[in-house]
């Protein structure tokens, strides 16, 4: 077996594997109830609140460092 050919183009081999795996996936026939939409909304709101609090914490630390130097 020629392993040198595979090692020369690992991205091409990986992309072919991913492409072939994508064609072999069958339908899931999943049921999405109204609570799923509520869960998605809660996750988005939670992520936004987390980003806001993180920005607030780092904003005060940066502002404190700048105000000490002047």
How many C-beta atoms lie closer than 10 Å to residue 13's C-beta? 13
**pLDDT for 29 beyond 70:** yes
Mean pLDDT taken over the chain: 79
> What does the pLDDT read at residue 67?
85
Higher pLDDT, 58 or 60: 58
Range of the domain at 48: 3-69
pLDDT of residue 7: 56
Q: How many domains does the chain have?
A: 1
Burial class (CB in 10 A: 0-12, 13-18, 19+), 43: exposed
The model carries a pTM of 0.46
- The tens digit of pLDDT for each residue in 36-57 reads 889 999 999 999 999 999 888 8
């Amino acid at each position: 077996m020629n392993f040198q050919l595979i090692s020369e183009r690992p991205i091409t081999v990986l992309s072919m594997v991913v492409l072939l795996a994508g064609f072999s996936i069958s339908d899931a026939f999943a049921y999405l109830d109204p609570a799923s939409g509520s869960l998605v909304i809660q996750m988005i709101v939670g992520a936004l609140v987390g980003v806001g609090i993180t920005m607030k914490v780092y904003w005060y630390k940066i502002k404190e460092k700048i105000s000490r130097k002047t």
